[in-house]
Amino acid sequence: DRSKNKLSASIRPFWSNALRVGNFRAHFTPNERLELVDSAFQLCSGLTMISDIGSDSRSSSETIEEAFHRYQKSLEKVESLRDSVIMDLRRLERCERTINGKLQCIHLPEGLSNLNHICDEAENMFDEVRTIAKTLADNVKLGDIPEFHKMYDSILQSLIFDKCLIAFCKERKLLTFEVAASSLGVSTDHTVSFRLTLQDYLLGLLLLPAELPSSTFYARLAVNCVSNGNLELPLEIWNFIVCLDSCFRKLNFKNDKLRRRFDVMKYDVKTVEDLNDMQIFISWSLPGKVALHKLDLVD
């Protein structure tokens, strides 16, 4: 009774002071505090939840303890699904690395003469990519995993880069957003959980200028082209990057990841323009053989 009277008298200042430890200790002895905590736990275990929020709200038969037990099961279900998805995403990432490793064979001494063969072998590896993409789309529904898109966006960007690089090497064309998504077996529908967004597609394209003119691709490939008598490909690479830069400048970017990545593109373009001697040599060697400032699309 003494504890109940003290609890009734001190309940208002107790809560108004946000359960400060000093007030709690001042009003109750250690034994009384233990009794109050135990009573509060028993009281909460018997409280019911409100089933609806509104003018016609009714109390549910579910207790607070039962409700939080249900919440725990929901969290465990999400974590279990997340662990399963992580395994599939790791498989997808390994596929992308294998494809990219195959494309690096272009830099080998015999890579230029086997360019189409290397691209065909890399293209065949996308069968497993499409299989994994279908599995992810079927197993994960929209809203099942919070921020699911952040778990795989970088992988799709790298796959877009690989696909567009193959298309350039084989056909000297650029894959459109829809064709690129279809070739990966990924939907562009915003109601699908595993999907390709326009931003991911554009970020994947912006990886091309960083790869094509760099010392890891363009310079080595250009030297191999000249050594083997192929004087068209270096100029086509230069033409492709300049046209891509011109097209991206027509877009109105906000100050986000896409904008920051596009700002880096000017350095990639400058790298191409610094190769003036080779460009002049190729231009004089191939007058009129390459149409400049024209970017063909695969649609």
pLDDT tens-digit map of 133-184: 999 999 999 888 988 999 999 999 999 999 999 998 888 889 999 999 999 9
For residue 5, the model assigns a pLDDT of 46
Mean pLDDT of the chain: 76
Residues flagged as binding site for Mg(2+): 211
Per the CB < 8 A criterion, the answer to whether 35 and 21 are in contact is no
pLDDT tens-digit map of 9-34: 444 444 444 344 455 555 667 776 66
For residue 245, the model assigns a pLDDT of 86
pLDDT tens-digit map of 181-229: 999 999 999 999 999 999 999 999 998 876 655 444 554 565 566 566 6
Closest residue by Cα to residue 121 from 95, 133, 103, 97: 103
For residue 65, the model assigns a pLDDT of 83
Contacts of 267 (CB under 8 A, 6+ apart): none
Per the CB < 8 A criterion, the answer to whether 201 and 180 are in contact is yes
For residue 262, the model assigns a pLDDT of 86
Tokens representing residue 189 in the block: 């529908």
Residues flagged as binding site: 211
Distance of CA 132 to the CA centre of its chain: 16
Residue 30, CB-side half-sphere exposure with 13 Å CA sphere: 0
Tokens representing residue 11 in the block: 């309940």
For residue 42, the model assigns a pLDDT of 58
> What mean pLDDT comes out for the span 252-273?
78
Instruction: Determine the Cα–Cα distance for residues 109 and 222; give it in Å rounded to an integer.
Output: 12
DSSP letter at 106 equals G
**What are the chain's domains?**
2-49 (no CATH), 85-298 (1.20.58.2140)
